[in-house]
């Protein structure tokens, strides 16, 4: 399948799920060729996939496919190449999530414990622990 047709199929898939794909010219100071920006976001309560219009076609395909990998597409029929492209980008995203999950975490504080008096455990009164006073 041609790359332009694959990109069209991906945008059509997004439209079928109710997600709009917006092509925007990104600020070059915020994006570079090694790490193009864009992806799935929510604007005014609606999901939108933002794509850098100045990016190369393979990068635009990667942006849309990675965004669609976060959406449940099981109920939709997709051409095998489209589903495979989305799946390939889902694997990259899940590898990053696995790596982040494996990172060491700060220890969680323990819940507070209510202190008990000595006499509370053994049923004795006065909290003296069974010792008798002078007498």
Q: What is the DSSP string of the chain?
A: --HHHHHHHHHHHHHHTT-EEEEE---TTT--SSS--EEEEEETTEEEEEEETTS-HHHHHHHHHHHHTTS--TTS---HHHHHHHHHHHHHHHHHHHHHHHS--PPPPPPP-----HHHHHT-STTSTT-----
Asked whether the predicted pLDDT for residue 41 surpasses 80, the reply is yes
Q: Which residue has the tokens 């099981």?
A: 74
Q: Considering the chain, what is the average pLDDT of its residues?
A: 78
**What confidence score (pLDDT) does residue 36 get?**
64
Q: Which pLDDT band, with edges at 50, 70 and 90, does 49 fall under?
A: very high
Q: Which pLDDT band, with edges at 50, 70 and 90, does 37 fall under?
A: confident
**What confidence score (pLDDT) does residue 100 get?**
52
Tell me the Cα Rg of the chain: 29
Q: Which pLDDT band, with edges at 50, 70 and 90, does 130 fall under?
A: low
Q: Which residue has the tokens 């917006």?
A: 22
Note whether 119 and 128 are within 8 A (CB): yes
| Inter-CA distances, 60 with 7, 13, 39, 118, Å | 8, 15, 10, 69
Q: Residue ranges of the domains in the chain?
A: 3-95
Q: Which pLDDT band, with edges at 50, 70 and 90, does 21 fall under?
A: very high
Convert the pLDDT of each residue in 63-117 to its tens digit.
999 999 999 888 889 999 999 999 998 865 555 555 555 556 666 666 677 777 6
């Amino acid at each position: 399948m041609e790359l332009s047709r694959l990109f069209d199929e991906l945008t059509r898939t997004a439209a079928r799920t109710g997600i709009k794909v917006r092509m925007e010219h990104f600020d070059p100071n915020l994006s570079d060729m090694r790490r193009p920006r864009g992806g799935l976001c929510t604007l005014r309560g609606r999901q939108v996939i933002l794509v850098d219009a100045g990016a190369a076609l393979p990068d635009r395909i990667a942006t849309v496919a990675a965004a669609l990998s976060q959406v449940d597409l099981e109920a939709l029929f997709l051409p095998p190449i489209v589903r495979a492209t989305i799946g390939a980008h889902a694997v990259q995203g899940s590898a990053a999530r696995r790596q982040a999950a494996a990172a060491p975490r700060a220890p969680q504080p323990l819940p507070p414990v209510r202190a008990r008096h000595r006499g509370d455990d053994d049923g004795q009164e006065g909290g003296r622990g069974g010792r008798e006073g002078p007498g």
